[in-house]
Amino acid sequence: MKFFFPDSQDLVDPSFDFESERRDDLRVRQRDDLYAHEVFRSRAYDGLLVSKGIVDGYGQVGSRYTIGQKHRLIRNGVKEFLRLESVPYPLEVMGDCGAFTYVKEKEPPYTADEVINFYADCRFDYGLSVDHVILAYQPDWDKRGAKPPDDVKDRQALTLSIAEEFWMRCKTRKEGFVPIGVAQGWSPKSYAHAVKELQAMGYTYIALGGMVPLKTAEILASLEKIAEVRKSKTRLHLLGVTRPDHMTEFSNLGVASLDGTSPLRQAFKDASDNYHTLSRTYSAIRIPQVEGNPKLQKKISSGVIRQETARKLEKSALAAMAAFDKGSLDIDATVAALIEYEELCAESTPMEKKAGSAKRRYSRADVYREVLSDRPWRKCGCEVCRSIGHHVILFRGAERNRRRGFHNVWVFYRRLRSELGLGLEDAA
């Protein structure tokens, strides 16, 4: 099973100094920054997934690429743009249209030919047909006497219609990428129907869309129903689904690949599961920046917190973590410094108190004590943990948070291989 990591221009700045928190003034983003595959010497994924919607942007979802980057992507090709050719192992690139960027539209904004041109111009290995996401999952609509709403049926019918045109145009144009048909559904039965239709068109590689919000049991139910119609040579791809505890079940039901950003996003989006290991997760230690933190700046400007006090406690918390990592400060003193700053940051503004929206204080003292006792970053062999040490566990700024996300992706890939009973030497 292959893991494709979706690209959203997530890079880290190698010039960033974690002690002074400064970077090279001449640094140019993307040109000088590093992708995860440039940070790690060993694999963190089998390939990357690049969405047309991320490159071009659509509606309120702006492009993650500058105009210059878009031109270089087409001129040089996706592999050279992402600097995959300098990596000492092969990495593939999959393209899709980014259906969630236009999910509110009545129809997709792209034609089959426009998307094929994007894949061909950028020289992708795989290209997904244009699809229209079905957000509802309602198996009851398949019961006798019930039926799905017309707009839901229309989305599936439109996705299949464009997939047929996509397949025919790829064959006529003799494109070099592998075409992947996309199946959308609202139930196990409807997903199986879509897969059957796509196979009849000629597809042997089919992606299952719209499954991100589904529970694992619902995904498995759909895969089991699909298995009743899936041909032995048909491979399945799960779009946006990363459930490491169920990889063996997915594989047994025909899943050959998947993609997702969950390991990266949990580093800075999750309330507690920020740092991953093969056996468990840990909370990151929060030391917010006084400058650059909107919530903290608002409290300072309203007089709730004195800026000098905030800076002093912030500096003390950072110094405590550095001293702890060097072995010159014990856990109790370290936790005390962290919690003192945390309590200051938790002060409610007068407006919050007046509106009754002031949050009840919650101390992370016990959580931090556990993290510091285990020192998980000391036990990890990835390049991130070895190069920045305790900074990887600090919830503070994009450079630390994104590196922790890269670490999580590296761990996820190893867990995926382990769950499937494979070693890294077996990677594609």
> Catalytic residue positions?
96, 259
**Rounded-to-integer distance, Cα 366 and Cα 301, Å:** 31
Whole-number Å distance between alpha carbons of 425 and 428: 9
Residue 231: what residue type?
K
CA distance 61 to 102: 9
How deeply is 208 buried, as exposed, middle or buried, from its count of CB atoms within 10 A (0-12, 13-18, 19+)?
A: buried
d(CA 119, CA 137): 30
CB distance 275 to 283 below 8 Å: yes
